Structure 1
Amino acid sequence: MFQGLSYLSRGRRLVLCFLVLCVLFFIVFHAQRKPRTPLSPRRPFSPYECFMETDSDSWNEGPRRLEDVLLSDTLPPAGRSIFFHETRCRSPYSQYILNLTARQACSIESAALHNPNFQVFVLFASSTYISDDQKNPLYDALKSYKNVNFRQLNIRRYAKDTPIEDWLEKRDLFRSKFLTEHMSDLLRLLTLYRFGGVYMDLDVVVLRSLENVPLNYVGAHDNMTLGNAVISLEPRGIGHKIAKLFLRDYQQHYNGNDYVSNGPSLISRVIPKYCNANVKELLNNPQLCVGFHVFNSSAFFPLEWPQWTHFILPKFLNDTLTRTKDSYLIHLWNKASFRTLFKVGSNNAYGKYAELHCPKSYAAAGQYF
């Protein structure tokens, strides 16, 4: 086959033959290997596809996909569950391995630690996998709690038979400038509509039990604004009625260009209207809204967002501990604080609370928290 190359020197012909054999070996070897990539080719994808099921389960080996929360044999106990959501857009053609930050793990652990009679569910909005071969100290720390559960969800299935099912099909949500946040704003409302219970953001540290606090509550930021970092609703009755009002308001006033319009602003629209009283009146007279409670800012938001550094800077330690001593939890304002890490063992309020209320996550965090 190489007669046509007779004009080449013998040495060059040998080199060329060797290269051809290498290429043939490479082709045969890879043709016989078990595929370790999805059958779907990698290609550009839309934000909508992040939250839809794909054929990425067509893997012959390796990590396993988290169970779908609605298809699992173990559903969240209605009204006896605490929920966290992770809503970042992940490529549907990759195999994203569950990877929480130390602070997210702390939020989950503190909720599980102080509420052992509640089930804690961490729900991922994009396809998420677990790898038994990959060391994950934070995941291992959380799985040591019997009441911590990891699941994923499919937004279309999750919205089916809810007041927002038809609106979601218009795909306005997926054109949002703040898709991660607006997806989170919606999913917490859907989760409470489906199951009731307590929703929390992944940037809190729970300081004491909420098990004996009657469901149906939110917390105020101030005398005018209610927060959505913590929302509690009954699975039936008043709670379910309010959940329906939340979902209707979400689609009626949805604004994909505004960061808070579908979150705290939504809660601040619906609750005063339902209770027929403004936020200040509800704080001064909790009996105005029968069956629903608005906590003052010390319960969930003891420090306003411009003061987030008080959790991290040592000079504010004593003042911060004093201001949060009666709080159910602290909210860390992740949008502002996530880039500012501190060394484990630092003498600050966040570190003190983490060491006490999420000890396993704090120990597994490594050098920085």
Structure 2
Amino acid sequence: MWKPSKIFYIVCLMLFIAGISFFSRNVLKGYQHYIMKSFRLNGIGSDSVAFTTTAILRQGNGILFMETTDRMEPPPLVLCVIESAARIYPDRPVVYFMKGLGNITTEEEEENTRRHFPTLSSFPNVYFFPLRMDELFNNTPLMTWFKKTDPKKERYWTHVSSDACRFAMIWKYGGIYMDTDVISIRPIPEADFLAGEHSQSTSSAVFGLSPHHNLTWQFMESFVENYRGDKWGHQGPVVFTRLVTKLCGTSVLESKEDTTCANISYFKPGRFYPILYSSWKKYFEVWPNLPTFDNSYALHLWNYMNSEHKSMVPGSNTLVEHLYQDYCPTTYGHILENEKTQI
């Protein structure tokens, strides 16, 4: 009578383990889809749950972006920035508020919106919601300013309204705010932080605070009390710098190392601005040796300086092309595919 050998048992065991592994991977994929769907529905797997920003951002750890014009077709840089955040923060909601977007109250409506952004639709932690300033500013110091301000008479309305919105969004939801020209490259280790833009200015392009933080309220009060819509940057970096200087003195601004201000982290400029605004074109140049940016959490590409409308060109071997390849490969692939179809 044939008796199974030791080798036979080993082979059977290996096949069994392989089968379990294959089964587990496929089952986990199914569970992952279910879990992410439940996550997108306020933690409950039911379509009856209201699909709101408050529900999605209830934990106060969202990554927030916005578009204050009616533009509904974001340029590649914006898509790259949002994708990079979705990849760097896979367990946190990444929300893009868009002024031109219609109301979204159900998952179905949000899913329909997602289809318009194919490079982002595969990321379950990315959400799209309308930007409604009258609702956002309600119950904040910004509401009185908003009611008496005529956008048609404002020289920099797109920019000053953006400055106001970022304060109100962080006050209401908490989390991290980023401009849509800030590419995420590694997680920011602090929840509450400000950052230096250079040795004399505090950044308004990226900052993080918990919901209803007292500092955010002070920012909004300063915004209103010192409003000058005719001066570029007066409602953005100037507001931050004014309050930081008042609370902590100029030594914080001038520090070459990470420090603290008003009991929150204050990051040195290199964390987000390793390339200064005067050298913004370097992002669109070919480097003999690519920088590693080991000491940075994200990279601000200074898009407002880009009057020449420079963009990422596949095959150019520029620094920005390498950033797209590394941190937003889906967007990069989409651009590359479109370029091929147009040839």
**Equivalent pairs, count:** 283
Alignment of 1:13-52 (within 5 A): none
- 1:231 alignment counterpart: 207
1:106 maps to which of 75, 80, 88: 80
Are 1:227 and 1:267, in contact at CA under 8 Å, matched by a contact in 2? yes
- 2:99 matches 1:125: yes
Quote the Cα distance in structure 2 between the aligned partners of 1:258 and 1:126. 26
CA distance in 2 between partners of 1:202 and 1:156 (Å): 22
CA distance in 2, matches of 1:248, 1:176: 20
Aligned to 1:275: 248
Distance in structure 2 (CA, Å) of the matches to 1:302 and 1:73: 34
Q: Structure 1 pair 71/77, CA: closer, same or farther in 2 (3 Å)?
A: closer
The percentage of aligned residue pairs carrying the same residue is 25
Which residue number corresponds to residue 139 of structure 1?
A: 117
Task: Give the structure 1 partner of residue 64 of structure 2.
Answer: 83
Aligned residue number for residue 11 of structure 1: none
Mark the CA change 1:283 to 1:363 in structure 2 (over 3 Å): closer, same or farther: same
Distance in 2 separating the partners of 1:106 and 1:116 = 15
Equivalent residue letter for 1:199 = Y
TM-score for both structures, normalised by structure 2 = 0.75
CA contact 1:100–1:138 (8 Å) conserved in 2: no
Unaligned stretches of 5+ residues in structure 1: 1-68, 91-95
Instruction: State the match for 1:349 in structure 2.
Output: 319
- From 185, 188, 192, the equivalent of 1:216 is 192
Looking at structure 2, the residues matched to 136 and 195 of structure 1 have their Cα atoms a distance apart, in angstroms, of 22
Contact preservation (8 Å) 2:95, 2:126: yes
SS in 2 for 1:151: strand
Larger radius of gyration: 1
Distance in 1 of aligned mates of 2:121 and 2:222: 37
Q: Select which of 328, 332, 335 maps to 2:301.
A: 332
CA offset at residue 70 of structure 1?
9.3
Counterpart check, 1:265 vs 2:238: yes
Residue 317 and residue 259 in structure 1: after superposition, are their counterparts in 2 closer, same or farther (change >3 A)?
farther
8 A Cα contact 1:173 1:182, kept in partner: no
5+ long unaligned stretches in structure 2: 1-49
What value does the CA root-mean-square deviation take over the aligned residues? 2.8
The CA distance in 2 between the partners of 1:233 and 1:353, in whole Å, is 27
Taking the aligned partners of 1:355 and 1:335, their CA distance within structure 2 comes to: 23
CA 1:137–1:296: 2 relative to 1, 3 Å: same
CA distance in 2, matches of 1:173, 1:251: 15
Secondary structure of 2:299 counterpart: strand
Q: Does the 8 Å CA contact 1:283/1:294 hold for their aligned counterparts?
A: no
Q: 2:264 aligns with which of 287, 292, 298?
A: 292
Whether the aligned pair in 2 keeps the contact of 1:225 and 1:279 (CA below 8 Å) is: no
Equivalent residues in 2 for 1:171-190, closer than 5 Å: 171-172=149-150, 175-190=153-168
Instruction: Rate the CA distance shift 1:168–1:294 in 2: closer, same or farther, 3 A.
Output: same
* Contact in 1 for aligned 2:252/2:259 (Cα 8 Å): no
Match of 2:170, SS state, is helix
